[in-house]
Chain A
Amino acid sequence: MTVYIIRRILGLIPVLLGITLLVFFLIRLIPGDPVITMLGDRASPQDIERVREQLGLNDPLHIQYLKYMGQLLRGNLGQSIINRTDVTFELAYRFPATIEMVISAMLIGVSVGITVGVVSAIRRNSWFDVLGMIGALLGVSMPIFWLALILIYALAVNRTVLPPSARLDVDLYVRRVTGFMLVDTLLEGDVYAFFNAIWHMILPSLVLSTVIMPALARITRASMLEVLRQDYVRTAWAKGLAEKVVVVRHALKNALLPVITVIGGQLGGLLGGAILTETVFSWPGMGTWTYRAILSRDYPIVQASVLVSATVYVFINLAVDILYAFIDPRIRYN
């Protein structure tokens, strides 16, 4: 297993190399000059040319790529073309913000989705099953930005139950250490701010969990139905085992393999940034950062964001594969 893990991690290197090549050249294929976006519609052609020269954008593409790789190997993700901030500095703000929202959404989505799927399967065709699957269909059909705005109006505008946006109340100050608000508030010893951060996370996490919940509910249900038909489950029933033991220890464990695959895929995708949710809730995460960078052709940010997303995906895939081996002892990597 250790060798397998090391091999998979080493396999990351050619993957990332390929991704740097792909994203470097692909984004430069999109028409539009980042310098014009940076300088605005008042820039003269001479100004634009001068800045392009300064930023090295007039160098041949392969030279630009080699310079970029040289920086990357020294751990430097470059500077934003538009506002000249260090990409690493901004990433250290954005990525933890996305991680916090996604993890809390996943916790809600996974726990509710799997529970609904399991109960729907064991109570097949019951009212719970019907309602659960209708709910899943609704969850998949509802546009997330619409749901977000409805909840904001219902819970934050018409009634101030929850805050409409941001990670913390605007007048609270928490020193950034890790970038994770829940951790930083505790490090600061600010209990009020800790609970305030949780309060702010509720609405965006709930909304984002509706992306995960329906898919998980449906796949869990389908997978459980498949497993519940197996002989060993029938044998477990026949032996007189309690329903909980049969469902959890025998059926669910075997039904989880496809569910974990879906969770892994969802997690990887969301950690790249949930643009719509972040935009509506003014959550300063990876999604909006990357989206704006693409629009303004801020190459260093797009490159860094894609690299981070790719790395996260590879590690999540690895984690999923390792989890398979724990759940199903028959799976071994030699």
Chain B
Amino acid sequence: MFKRKWFAVLAIIVVIASLTVTSCKPKKSGGGGGTLIVGRGGDSVSLDLATVTDGESWRVGQEILDTLVKLEGTSTKVIPWLAESWESPDGKTWTFKLRKGVKFHDGTPCNAEAVKWNFDRWRDENNEWRFGRTFEYYTHEFGEDYAIVDTKVVDEYTFQFTLANPSAVVLYKLPLGSFAISSPTAIKKQGDKYGTPAGTAVGTGPFKFVEWVPDDKIVLERNPDWWGDGPKLDRLIFRSIPDNSARLAEFLAGTIHQADLAQTDMPTAEADPNIVAYTLPSLSTGYIAFQQCTKPFDDVRVRWAIAHAINRQALIDTFYNKQDRLATGFQPPAILGHNPDLPPIEYNPEKARQLLAEAGYPNGFKTEFWYIPVIRGYFPDSKAIAEAIAVDLAKVGIEVELKTEDWGAYLEHRNQGKFPMWMLGWGSDNGDPDNYIGWHFSHPVGKPKAEDCYDNDELAQLLIDGAREPDLAKREAIYKRAEQIVHDEMPRLPVAWPANRIFFRKNVKGYEPVVFRSWYEKIWVEESK
């Protein structure tokens, strides 16, 4: 009886103590900018940004690491960052003058040697500091046609690289997170732990790495020696909260200051007076694609019949937010080469039937339509949208069997060209058309991609020329013509341009809506909760 009483007393003390102690939280002193806590749906893969392709890694890593140049944010204009200036007389050899006196967080200098070391690590498959990792973005963005064939230290703060061929777009690639500069000393010291939760990431950015608890949080702290203006925040914390409802709950409770929200949760957040929503221009397109090695999709009349048969405006009105727009072309207005003069793709089931009859399918046909198994801004409810499309197509005699599969398998089979008709989307990495229409339709002349078998020599050559043309006005004209071809031949039926929404608590100050970059170095929090 004596022991039981004491046990009960102890249990009561523990509970009261934990409730009391936690309400008397010691106040931390700081620089005045507070702590910003971001709630996101998943964790980063790695902070060795050169080796990743996911946005969650870039998002954190780009606060720790700087790139040579950056996109301005309210436009896709390239601005100096680690490099103060640059020149290229021929589009092949690019010379960058670096900021003087910039140091990595570990105190080592960020000079031309350090930058060259990074570039060599990306471009040389036999580089000893790759630890068997893949450098996909370098491979894709530079590849064989624009491979960096040489790097040079001209002087302590002047770095130069030479491409295999002239490129007008290399400046738009360099702001990508994959081309951020890490400390060579840190990589050599940490080996294959660099960028993982077992190691750190070391750059020149406004924030320094503090800790990474996998699937929980990544904590960054202010770099008081950053070369730029700021940061104001004392700490920047990225939390992983996988469940959408739980993330919304925390956002409403104020335990996080910024949240990535599911489409269905956005109206709830918008209705909260303590939350501010910002809308950014669309940088993505949801589309339906066709496999042109499969009949009847090899016939442009059939593709146009499908375009006329689907009431895309009704899809936007039903399944998307009011800020999202019906796509009138492949590239949204924010991307260079967007063509506003394309004739509208009208909803006209009669015309659809007429085209089908002309193509030799007066009674329609049967096919498979594959919809994505994941939620994306460009198709927020893919199954329901696919069902609505199926209903529209049935009205003109096209009977579709709806199919889907696991995301990894979906992408694999799409690559192999196994889908006759499928939905997918695209989000721009850097606002450049080479990363948009160029990505989708570039192929060696005469060698179409397996996924859609679409082959247009004029388009292929236009996209090669567009990537090399240094004159902005000429580039725009090239891509507008490319858009026209894609519109006329309908290898993709564009459906939606979803807007980007950013949500902050009201006590987060200093944010300006920008694209392709964060604004964390200018933000501060008035109180921590």
Task: Name A's B-contacting residues (CB within 8 A).
Answer: 30-34, 36-37, 39-45, 47-48, 50-51, 54, 82-86, 89-90, 93-94, 145, 149, 152-153, 156-157, 160, 163-167, 169-171, 173, 191-192, 195-196, 198-199, 279-282, 284, 288-289, 295-297
Q: With A41-B424, A84-B192, A170-B237 known to touch, is A282 a contact of B253 (CB < 8 Å)?
A: no
Q: Does B53 contact A (CB under 8 A)?
A: yes
Taking the complex as formed, is B18 at the interface, i.e. its CB lies under 8 A from any CB of chain A?
yes
Residues in chain A near residue B249, CB distance under 8 A = 149, 152-153, 156-157, 164
Given contacts A40-B54, A43-B136, A164-B253, 16 further A-B contacts (CB under 8 A): A31-B405, A32-B412, A33-B408, A40-B53, A43-B140, A84-B132, A85-B214, A93-B197, A93-B214, A165-B241, A199-B22, A279-B242, A282-B241, A282-B246, A284-B213, A297-B408
B residues near A (Cβ < 8 Å) are 14, 17-19, 21-22, 25-26, 28, 35, 37, 45-46, 51, 53-54, 131-134, 136, 139-140, 192, 196-198, 210-211, 213-217, 219, 235, 237, 239-243, 245-246, 249-250, 252-253, 255, 405-409, 411-412, 414-415, 424, 439, 450, 528
In the bound complex, do residue B409 and residue A32 qualify as a contact, i.e. CB atoms below 8 Å apart?
yes
In the bound assembly, the distance between CA atoms of A31 and B418 in angstroms comes to: 14
Taking CB atoms, residues of chain A closer than 8 Å to B424 are 41
Shortest beta-carbon distance, A80 to chain B, in Å? 9
Which residues of chain B are within 8 angstroms of A39 by Cβ–Cβ distance? 53, 134, 136
A157 touching B253 in the complex, CB below 8 Å, given contacts A44-B140, A47-B140:
yes
Contacts of B240 in A (CB 8 A): 282, 284
Q: Check if A86 sits within 8 Å of B198, measured CB to CB.
A: yes
Min CB–CB distance B303 → chain A (angstroms): 22
User: Which residues of chain B are within 8 angstroms of A34 by Cβ–Cβ distance?
Assistant: 408
A93 to B215, CA, bound (A): 10
- Give the residue name and chain of the A residue nearest to B429 (CB): A42
Tell me, in angstroms, the Cα distance from A42 to B414 when the chains sit together.
12
Q: Which A residue's beta carbon lies closest to that of B415?
A: A45
The reply to whether A173 and B210 contact each other, CB–CB distance below 8 Å, is: yes
Cα–Cα, bound, A42→B18 (Å): 49
Residues of B within 8 A of A297 (CB): 408
Q: Is the CB of A196 within 8 A of B21?
A: yes
Q: Determine the chain A residues whose CB is within 8 A of the CB of B133 once the complex forms.
A: 84
Q: Are A42 and B21 in contact (CB under 8 A)?
A: no
Choose one: B26, B210, B255; the contact of A164 (CB below 8 Å). B255
A44 to B439: give the CA distance in the assembly, Å: 11
Query: Top 9 nearest A-B pairs by Cβ distance?
Result: A32-B408, A32-B409, A284-B215, A195-B18, A37-B408, A83-B45, A157-B253, A31-B409, A195-B21
Measured between beta carbons, the chain A residues less than 8 angstroms from B242 are: 279, 282, 288
* Closest B residue, CB atoms, query A86: B198
A295 B196 Cβ-Cβ under 8 A = no
Minimum distance in angstroms from A39 CB to a CB of chain B:
6
Chain A: CB-nearest residue to B439: A42
| CB pair B216 A284 closer than 8 Å | yes
> Beyond A93-B214, A160-B253, A171-B237, is A165–B28 a contact (Cβ under 8 Å)?
no
Q: Which residue of B has the minimal Cβ distance to A159?
A: B253
Chain B residues whose CB sits within 8 angstroms of the CB of A54 once the complex forms: 132, 134
* Least distance between A194 CB and chain B CB atoms (Å): 8
Please state if B197 and A90 are interface contacts (CB–CB under 8 Å): yes
CA of A85 to CA of B46, assembled, Å: 9
- Known A40-B54, A173-B210; judge A163-B412 contact (CB<8 A): no
Question: Please, which residues of chain A bring their CB within 8 A of the CB of B409?
Answer: 31-33
Residue numbers in B under 8 Å from A156 (CB-CB): 249-250, 253, 255
Q: Name the residue on B nearest A163 (C-beta).
A: B255
Chain A residues, CB < 8 A from B255 = 156, 163-164, 170
Given A47-B139, A160-B253, A282-B242, are A85 and B405 neighbors across the interface (CB < 8 Å)?
Answer: no
Chain B nearest CB: distance from A83 CB in Å?
A: 4
Q: Are B246 and A37 in contact (CB under 8 A)?
A: no
Residues of B within 8 A of A94 (CB): 214-215
In whole angstroms, what is the CA distance A249 to B108 when docked?
71
Given contacts A163-B255, A173-B210, contact A41 B217 (CB under 8 A): no
Q: Within the complex, which residue of A173, A198, A282, A295 is in contact with B18, where a contact is CB–CB below 8 Å? A: A198
- B213 lies within 8 A of A171 (CB): no
Please, how many angstroms separate the alpha-carbon atoms of A81 and B463 in the complex?
34
A-B pairs with beta carbons under 8 Å apart, 18 shown: A31-B405, A41-B424, A43-B136, A48-B415, A89-B198, A94-B215, A156-B255, A157-B253, A165-B250, A170-B37, A170-B255, A171-B28, A192-B26, A199-B19, A279-B246, A284-B214, A289-B215, A296-B408
